[in-house]
Amino acid sequence: MKVEKQNIGGCRWNLIINADPKECEADYKKVLKTFNDAGRISGFRKGKAPIEIIKKNFQREIIQETEKRLFRTIYQKAVDEENLKVVAALEVKDVIFSPETGIVFTAVVDLEPKFSLPKYRKIPIDPREVAVTEEELDHYMERMRAAFAKFEETSAEYEIQKNDLVCMDFAGSVGGQPLKEIDPAAEAISSKSDFWVQVDESQFLPEVINAAVGLTSGAETAVEFKLPKAMPMEALRGKKVRYELKIKAVRKRVVPADAELCAQLKVESLEEFRQDARSKMAEVANQEEQYRRKQAVTEYLLNKATFEVPESEMKEAVNNILEQMKREAQQRGVKSEELAAQRDEILQSATASATNQVRFKYIIREIARAEGIEASDEEVDEKIQSMTSEYKMDAEELRKRLFEGGHQDVLKEQVVFDKTMELLIAEGK
């Protein structure tokens, strides 16, 4: 057998496979026997017609069936002998067969990429010690108090404080012209009546919010300032704006006392809640640090190893990413027309992500091979156990579904991937 490999771009190859008559003989004879046993020739009993007559009467069908058989056997033999790592067999073409000359055909395949593995020992990841400070705990406790705060009616003399709730009328203008006349997109910040807002800079324009502090119900004031240069409305960027506002109602924010907060949180003491919060915050911080380290490893290896990836895998990865982006957009309420308008940008982003995703898979796979990292049955069982809560089924049921769906190799690859990443992170500096 002869195999000629022709690269036709990236990871795509033509495999021109040529097998001589002796290599084709066994399959050809099996096909002849099948037709001889089943074929009906006038004047002969079934299975008793001379083989030459069978060949003459079923020549086309015999050739076609032999080609199918030979492709399966010869193709796989060629792949094994050449030690080819085929990602996808895409097309068979230019098939020529005869019992006298053998068979030649071209198989179009995607092969795994070949690349030089970068140095992966001691990747610079700048490992950081995870610790929850008392200050962070204090801030968390304050946020919890704020979450259970109530807003109470106030007297007419009460002066507005930070985080209170106020109802106001406001109107913004530049040189006496309302903002929405300058740019219709500014309607939301141009003017409003009976506008309820918490006195927090993150809730509205900070200068307007701060102007309300210290006022009482019924008070009126005005404030002038320059709008940010980074505003979405280009016509208003950096413009000097004047806002007139009138306070119509005020509700004072009242945070719960310790005993009331404990009752709301359903804990015996705030110290108990504080310790529990410390544990949860430490867990989140550890997860974030692990994610940061993984990102550092990923970025380092992708920068050090640039190579083309199989087109067939790229298409699948791009489609998966696009589907995920579409689902997320729909959950956010983005309309299909908006997605269509951003089609080119979305496709470009998905293609870049898919390229990195597929390339990184091969880098990690190659490192695993170099390190002899494999997945044991016990580790696969542990992986299945860790997935039970996500899929809401017990381990045995999940195992059955995964294995019946032919996903055992995917599970093993995921275990190997995780173990390899753990090694790289552990050895990082």
For all residues of the chain together, what is the average pLDDT?
A: 90
In the structure encoding, which two tokens stand for residue 155, read together? 């007297």
Q: Which domains does the chain have, with CATH numbers?
A: 2-111 (3.30.70.1050), 150-254 (3.10.50.40), 286-426 (1.10.3120.10)
pLDDT at 208 over 80: yes
Segment 212-235, tens digit of pLDDT: 999 999 999 999 999 999 888 889
Q: What is the pTM of this model?
A: 0.71
- Cβ atoms within 10 Å, residue 107: 24
DSSP 162-227: TT-EEEEEEEEEETTEEHHHH-GGGHHHHEEEEEEEES-TTTS-HHHHHHHTT--TT-EEEEEEEP
Confidence band for 39, pLDDT divided at 50, 70 and 90:
low
Distances, alpha carbon 267 to alpha carbons 93, 173, 259, 272, in Å: 73, 51, 10, 7
What SS3 class is residue 98? strand
Segment 110-167, tens digit of pLDDT: 999 999 999 999 999 998 888 899 999 999 999 999 999 999 999 999 999 999 999 9
Q: What pLDDT sits at residue 46? A: 65
Beta carbons of 137 and 279 less than 8 angstroms apart = no
Classify burial at 310, counting beta carbons within 10 Å of its beta carbon; exposed 0-12, middle 13-18, buried 19 or more.
Answer: buried
Q: In 244-394, which residue ranges form alpha helices assigned H by DSSP?
A: 258-265, 270-304, 311-331, 336-341, 343-371, 377-386, 388-391
Q: What pLDDT sits at residue 47? A: 62
Cα(284)–Cα(13) distance, rounded to whole angstroms?
47
Cα(25)–Cα(197) distance, rounded to whole angstroms?
86
Distances, alpha carbon 29 to alpha carbons 34, 36, 39, 104, 411, in Å: 9, 10, 15, 18, 42
Amino acid at position 16, single letter: I
Amino acid at position 291, single letter: Y
Beta carbons of 89 and 107 less than 8 angstroms apart = yes
